[in-house]
Amino acid sequence: MAVSETFLAHHALVNGIDIYYEDYHSQASAPVFILLHGFLSSSFSFRKLIPLLSKDFRVISVDLPPFGRSGKSKKYRYTYENMAKTVLGLLDYLSIDQIYAAGHSMGGQIVMNMMLQRPNCIKKAILLCSSSYLPKAKTPIILSSYLPFFNRYVKYYLGKTGVLGNLENVVFDKALINDDMVNGYMEPFHEDHIFSALTRMLRQREGDLPKTSLQMITTHCLLIWGDQDRVVPLHIGERLANDLPHSELVVLNGAGHLVPEEMPMQVYSEIKSFIND
């Protein structure tokens, strides 16, 4: 499925770091829909969903630092709170007041942080197999991250399974994996700077939002989960739906963790119904 021909790529300096984003224009008055990808991913993960959403929305897909084509600065603070602040800063840069937002996996944590920081910004939120309830890294790992050349260990660790192995873990139907998919997810890791940034992220990342914070979110949320998700299992989605006061959970049978790739039509249909309700 080809992406919209009206796609424009942009860079903006926001919160001290270079942010890459893709802007897919629909009609001038179309509402804005922000897409935030997961860990070790980029805007590429929404390539099948964007053509569907861009029929009804102005879609802006953001590469979260240090991933994709966004900056990998050694000065940036790679916490979820700061990433959320950065995306909100991008909206200010674009003079956008209100949006719909979807976050996949780690991107879901960023969306939830955004809803806490600026409650009236997001009209409705879609959390796709959202990362939830993960604690911060253990103290020995955080201390080890200060060792010289620790970034080489991060590169080695991620390279053990490789992109293909990671895709086989996040996709239920392995037949969906092809060369284009492997190359697209591999592209951000051709640059060694990302491993130093990932070391900083490992050191700085706070834990996922606790129940007390989740219960403060007043935005209506749609949770979409694959019943075969091995990365963030369905019971996590059920727990999250229980802790978010205004939420509903939809389960896609025969889908794994990478639902925007595996079932884009079903995801789009659920999003449309949720927003139009």
How far, in Å, are 31, 131, 161, 220 from residue 78 at the CA level? Answer: 29, 16, 24, 27
Q: Which of 26, 105, 131, 196 is catalytic?
A: 105
Strands (E), 80-206: 99-104, 122-128
Residue 115 backbone dihedrals phi, psi, to 5 degrees: -65, -30
244 Cβ contact list (under 8 Å, min separation 6): 214, 215, 217, 221, 223
- The whole-angstrom separation of Cα 91 and Cα 169 is 33
- The whole-angstrom separation of Cα 54 and Cα 32 is 10
152 touches 197 (CB < 8 A): no
Give yes or no: 247 in active site.
Answer: no
Give yes or no: 4 in active site.
Answer: no
Instruction: Write the DSSP symbol of residue 36.
Output: E
121 Cβ contact list (under 8 Å, min separation 6): 88, 91, 97, 98, 99, 114, 115
Known catalytic residues are 105, 257
